[in-house]
Structure 1
Amino acid sequence: MLPNDALLRPAPDRPARKIRGSGTVAIRALSKKLHTDPRVDISLLPVADGLVLALKRP
């Protein structure tokens, strides 16, 4: 997800910008939790700043 059109992990040839707002911290925590949760399937859609879909597995 791209908060305010800023990359969370910029390319190696570009200088890193520190993005440490509370929203960024929350987005990273949610993404990590969803990624490691075996009960859900996730998908990131390229809509606006990024839209995450999380579907509960049967």
Structure 2
Amino acid sequence: MVADHKETLEIRVRISLIENNMTQIDLANELGISPSYLSDLLKGKRDGIKAQERIKTIKKFLNIF
């Protein structure tokens, strides 16, 4: 079930980026993180406390929940 949640987050972020005419690079720059770190977050490769905080920030920035 965790994998489904991660896939859902990645899909929701991608949809939101398309709707806002943004790329992952744009989002990473807005958040002050590297594009590769953002990709890892969205793919569920990072799951520590700091990563969870970043995910909350991404959701808030894109207004997705």
Name the one with the larger strand percent: 1
Name the one with the larger helix percent: 2
Q: What TM-score, normalized by structure 2, do the two folds share?
A: 0.31
Structure showing greater Rg: 1
